[in-house]
Amino acid sequence: MEQETDQNILQHLLHLEGEASSLVDDAQAEANRRLAEAEKQCRIQFDESYSVEAEKLEIIHKNEIDAIRKDYRKQLESYRAELLAQSVDKKAFTDLAAGLFLGRK
């Protein structure tokens, strides 16, 4: 009889261990599910933030490029105007060229 009681106790303990193992497995599966969902949500949030920041930087970059181009055109026009405003001394140039290339003075 005592052996039967011991067997019943062991059976009951094994049953409890099986239930505990099942609970642990279920808890681990739930934790994994929650972790995967949290990772998914974080990825979505990151992608949204990244897109917004990338768009802002793209606009800043475009504005800076436009400003540089505008400044370049302004400087080029200023340089052209300066060149057009200078007088040309054709006789002095001809004399200099003749002296350099033909050896005349």
Amino acid identity for residue 8 in this structure: N
Overall average pLDDT of the 7-28 stretch: 92
pLDDT digits (tens, 9 = 90+) for 90-101: 999 898 888 888
The DSSP letter of residue 103 is -
| Domains in the chain, number | 1
| CA angle centred on 88, ends 85 and 89, rounded to 5° | 145
The domain of 33 spans 2-102
pLDDT of residue 8: 86
Structure tokens at 42: 């974080």
- Count other Cβ atoms within 10 Å, centred on residue 87: 5
* pLDDT beyond 70 at 104: no
Q: Given the structure tokens 């062991």, which residue do they identify?
A: 10
pLDDT of residue 28: 97
pTM score = 0.54
pLDDT digits (tens, 9 = 90+) for 33-90: 999 999 999 999 999 999 999 999 999 999 999 999 999 999 999 999 999 999 888 9
pLDDT of residue 16: 92
User: Which residue blocks in the chain are alpha helix, DSSP H?
Assistant: 2-85, 90-97
* pLDDT band at residue 105 under the 50/70/90 scheme: low
Amino acid identity for residue 102 in this structure: L
